[in-house]
Amino acid sequence: MSFKLGFLGAGVMAGAILDNVLINAGKLGVKPEDIAVYDIDGGKVAAYAQKGVYGAKSAGELFEECEIVLLGVKPQYYREILDGVTDYKCSAVVSIMAGVKIATLKGAIGKDIGIVRVMPNTPCRIGEGMSAVCFYNVDAVTADFIKGVFSCCGKVIEISEDKFDAVTSISGSGPAYVYMFADGLIKGGMDGGLTPEESRILALQTLIGAAKLAAADEIPLDILVDRVCSKGGTTIEAVDFFRQSSLPEIIKEGVKRCRDKSKLLSEKL
């Protein structure tokens, strides 16, 4: 193979992964010239070419010349792209397409090669992402390399494919839920007289710190809640209101609706 890793698509998510791979190339044991990229936007390809990445002329070239190809296009377009590929010389295809099952992708490829399904999330852009991976017909060395690719973007967990709808509803879509809660905190602070900048700094750092503390201590979250509260104090006033308003149940229901929609979309792709 001419290249270790190829990127089919250089959009928001695939581009974030490629950017982090380039930053951590030494740790992965690759150089920019070991990587190829193809995108219908020639400007994106040219930008990566300036960093030493090879700009492929077609999607087919990636599958012929790369050992591993990361499929980073929108789900509604992948069949049309794969229909134009005449030869698969790669050993594995990595899909970050939401909702596309391994069996579905295998059928579209029409050849029994390694397939990896990954659900990353948008914080991958700053190296703080969460990626769930599932492997089919992939050897241990290749699997470790692919885990390394996504470790450049944050944390990685290997999980069975039947749990991917649940993964989508938590880590895949979860950033949006967090942003909504953060927005509520910020607006609440502004109602109390804080400037937008002051409230944003206070709210976002509180979320960052609380998440890091929860991850570090591994203490049940309800206990962490209780540790911030005191009887008759200020925190419990808000916490009791959230509980009386069924906030935890509202969140669970939102997650369920996201999970159900993920299952429905998977059946259509």
pLDDT one-digit tens code per residue, 12-30: 999 999 999 999 999 999 9
pLDDT tens digits in sequence order for the chain, 269 residues long = 689 999 999 999 999 999 999 999 999 999 999 999 999 999 999 999 999 999 999 999 999 999 999 999 999 999 999 999 988 999 999 999 999 999 999 999 999 999 999 999 999 999 999 999 999 999 999 999 999 999 999 999 999 999 999 999 999 999 999 999 999 999 999 999 999 999 999 999 999 999 999 999 889 999 999 999 999 999 999 999 999 999 999 999 999 999 999 999 999 88
State the CATH number of the domain containing residue 45. Answer: 3.40.50.720
Residue 25 lies in domain? 3-164
Residue 154 and residue 201 in one domain? no
Question: Do residue 11 and residue 139 come from a single domain?
Answer: yes
Question: CA dist 194 to 117, 184, 186, 199, Å?
Answer: 45, 14, 9, 6
* Judgement on whether residues 157 and 238 belong to the same structural domain of the protein: no
**pTM score of the predicted model:** 0.94
Q: Angle at Cα 37 formed by Cα 35 and Cα 39, nearest 5°?
A: 175
User: Would you say the C-alpha torsion 59, 64, 66, 67 has a positive or negative sign?
Assistant: positive
Residues 114 and 230 in one domain: no
144 and 181 belong to one structural domain = no
Radius of gyration of the chain (CA): 21
Residue at which a domain ends, from 113, 139, 164: 164
Contacts 24+ apart (CB under 8 A), 242-248: none
**Of 145, 164, 183, at which residue does a domain stop?**
164
User: From CA 10, how far away is CA 173, in angstroms rounded?
Assistant: 21
Domain termination residue (choose one: 135, 164, 193): 164
203 and 248 fall within a common domain: yes
| Angle in degrees, CA 75, 77, 79, rounded to 5 | 95
Q: Are residues 142 and 187 in the same domain?
A: no
Please state, in angstroms and as integers, the Cα–Cα distance from residue 220 to each residue in 18, 181, 216, 224, following that order: 36, 21, 11, 7
Domain at 234, CATH number = 1.10.3730.10
9 shares its domain with 92: yes
- Render pLDDT for 115-168 as a digit per residue (tens, 0 to 9): 999 999 999 999 999 999 999 999 999 999 999 999 999 999 999 999 999 999
Q: How many helices (H) and strands (E) does the chain have?
A: 13, 8
Tell me how long the chain is: 269
Number of domains the chain is built from: 2
Q: Are residues 179 and 146 in the same domain?
A: no
Residues 156 and 206 in one domain: no
